[in-house]
Amino acid sequence: MTASVGSGGPGDPEKLLADLSDIDREVAKLLDGFDGPNRARIDHTELSALQRSYGFASDAYADVHVAGDEMRCVATFHPPVMGGRPLSVDGFYAQLSELGVVAGIRRDAIAEAILACNTEDRRIDDMVVAEGTAPRPEIAEHLEIRSDLLKPEKPIRPDADAARVDFKQYGFLRLVKKGEVLARKVPKRPGEYGHTVRGQMIPYPKRQATSPKPGKNTEADGSEVRALCDGSFRFDGSRFWVEEVLDLPGGVDYRTGNISFPGDVIIRGEVKDGFSITSGASIICNSTLDASIVRCKDDLIVSHGIIGRKEALVKCGGSVRTKFIENCVVHARGKIEVSAGIMNSLVKSLDYVETGPKGIVVGGVIWAQKGVIAGRIGSQSGPKTEIHCGINPFAQERIEWIRDKNIEYAGKLQGVRIQLQSRPDDARLRKIEEALKESIHKLNRAAEQLLLHLDKDEEAYVDVTKEIAPGTYIEICHVPLVVRKSQRSVRYSLDKSRGTIIETPI
C-alpha cells in the first residue's frame, strides 16, 4: 500500500508531492470504518506501547496511580523512543493535578527521575512520587517505667563441656538502690492531623496509655517514682514494686540460723547441712546447695548443684536452674533445667525437665507434665530409672494420698463396726463411726475434684538425644512402656489411636 519513489528519485519535488498525495489516500483507506463513534479507544499508555512494538517513534510518558487509601502515589517513567519527545516536568505535574495529587509530593526525586528517563533512556518503575502523612495519636499523661528495668531476662546457655551455670550470662535480678528512679511521668502528647496525597485531612485518634501502678517499697517524688529501699525491681504487667533482697555473703550456717525472708535471697557462700531456707520470692545460690528444706515462691537458681541431705525437700513456685540434682526431692511448678544430670532423685514439674546436651538422668523418678529432654537416660548397671509424663504430678500425688487415707479409714471403720457388734450402745464408738464415714465421704469428694485437674497432656514426650538404657520405665498419660534394648536419638510419644507409646527417631 506504499507508493514507490520511482525513477525521479527523492530529489524530484513533483514526484515527492505525488507520493505524499498517494500516502494520504492510502491512509484514508486504512482508516475507513475506524473513525466513527464506535471505534475502540485506547489510553496514552496503550498507544505508546503499540507504537514501540511496531517500531514507531514514541514520546516519553509516565504511568501514575494513586493507592486505594490515597496515602501513596506511584509512577513508572518510560523514556522516549526513536526521537520521541522527552517528558517535561510541567507535563508530569499536570498529570498529578488531574489526579488531584497536591500533598506530600517528592519534587527532588521526581526531577531526578525525569532527567534520568530522558537522558539515560532508562525506565524507572514504581517510584513513590507523593506520600501522605499518617496522623499522630494524642496520648494522655501516663507513668512510664525505665526501659532498662524492663529488658527481658537472658537465657542460660549451659557450657557444653563443663555444663556449668554462669551468673554473668544472664540478669536474673534487676537490683535497684534506695532513692533510685524507677518510673517517670510522661506529659500528654498532643495529636497531629494526617493527610492523604489528595490533601484530605485525617483526624488523629486519642489514646489512653497504660499507666502501671506503683506498689510496695516505692514512693512518688514529683513527676518520678523512686525506690524506698535497696532490692530487686519487679513488674507483673500492671503493677511494679521493689522486693527487698537478703544478701548472705557468708552463706547459711549457725551464724545466720534458718532463713525465712519475704523477698529474694542471695546466698554467696555455702549452705551447711540441716539448715532451712524459705523465700517469699526467689533464691539464688552461687555455690553447691546442700539442701535440707528449701522453699521459694518464685525461681531457684543454683550455680553448682543441689545435693539432698537426709529428708531433703526443695519446693519452688517457679522454675529451677542448676548444674545437677543428687539424692534430693525437687518440686517445681515451672521448668527444671539441669545442665549436667539428675541422680537418684524424685523430681516433679508441671513443665519440662531438661538436661544439657550431655546431661544424664540415672535412678530415681521423674514426673514432668509436658515431657523430658535429656542426653542420656538410665544405666544398664545402675538403679532403675522411671519417667512419668502427661499428668499433673501434684494432683496425682494428692489423689494417691487420698487413696491411701481411704484404705486406712476403711480399715478403721471396719474395726469400729466389729466392736459395735458387741457394744451397740457405746456412744463413743458411734461417734467415731460417724466421723470416719464423714471423713471418707469428704476424701471421695476431694478425689473427684482432683481428677478434673490431672490435666492429661497427650502431647507430652520423652526425647533422648544420645542413648536410653534398657530397663528404663516410661509412662505417658498412664500408658506404660519398658525399654527392651538400648536406643539412640529417639522420641517416645503417645499414639492416641492405639493407646500405646511409640518410638520415632530424632
The model's pTM is 0.57
Q: Is 420 exposed, middle or buried (0-12, 13-18, 19+ CB in 10 A)?
A: middle
pLDDT of 420: 92
Q: In this predicted model, what pLDDT tens digit does every residue of 300-313 receive, in sequence order?
A: 999 989 998 777 89
Beta strands in 442-486 (DSSP E): 461-468, 473-476, 479-482
Q: Which residue from 101, 122, 129, 233 is spatially nearest to 174, judged by alpha carbons?
A: 233
If you search the block for the grid coordinates 512402656, which residue do you land on?
481
Q: Write the class of the CATH domain 396-451.
A: mainly alpha
Beta strands in 369-478 (DSSP E): 371-377, 385-389, 461-468, 473-476
Gyration radius (Cα) of the chain, Å: 41
Structure confidence at residue 186 as a pLDDT band (50, 70, 90): very high
Structure confidence at residue 257 as a pLDDT band (50, 70, 90): confident
pLDDT of 48: 60
Domain with CATH 1.20.58 in the chain: 396-451
Choice among 101-105, 166-170, 257-261, 456-460 with the minimum mean pLDDT? 166-170
What is the overall mean pLDDT for the chain?
A: 85
If you search the block for the grid coordinates 532527567, which residue do you land on?
115
| Local structure of 466: helix, strand or coil | strand
The H or E element spanning position 504 is: strand 500-505
d(CA 43, CA 473): 79
d(CA 451, CA 458): 16
Q: Is 180 exposed, middle or buried (0-12, 13-18, 19+ CB in 10 A)?
A: middle
Bridge-based pairing of strands 479-482 and 473-476 is antiparallel
What 206-209 contacts at long range (C-beta under 8 Å, 24+ apart), as own/partner pairs, is: 206/137, 206/138, 206/140, 207/137, 207/138, 207/139, 207/140, 208/140, 209/139, 209/140, 209/142
Structure confidence at residue 286 as a pLDDT band (50, 70, 90): confident
**Cell numbers at 259, concatenated:** 532463713
Q: Please say if the pLDDT value at position 86 is more than 70.
A: yes
Q: In this predicted model, what pLDDT tens digit does every residue of 329-347 receive, in sequence order?
A: 999 999 999 999 999 999 9
Q: Report the percent of the chain where pLDDT is more than 70.
A: 84
Structure confidence at residue 8 as a pLDDT band (50, 70, 90): very low
Structure confidence at residue 52 as a pLDDT band (50, 70, 90): low
- DSSP secondary structure, 142-201, as one string: EEEE-GGGGPPPPPP---TTT----GGG-----EE-TT-EEEEEEPPBPPB-EE-TT--E
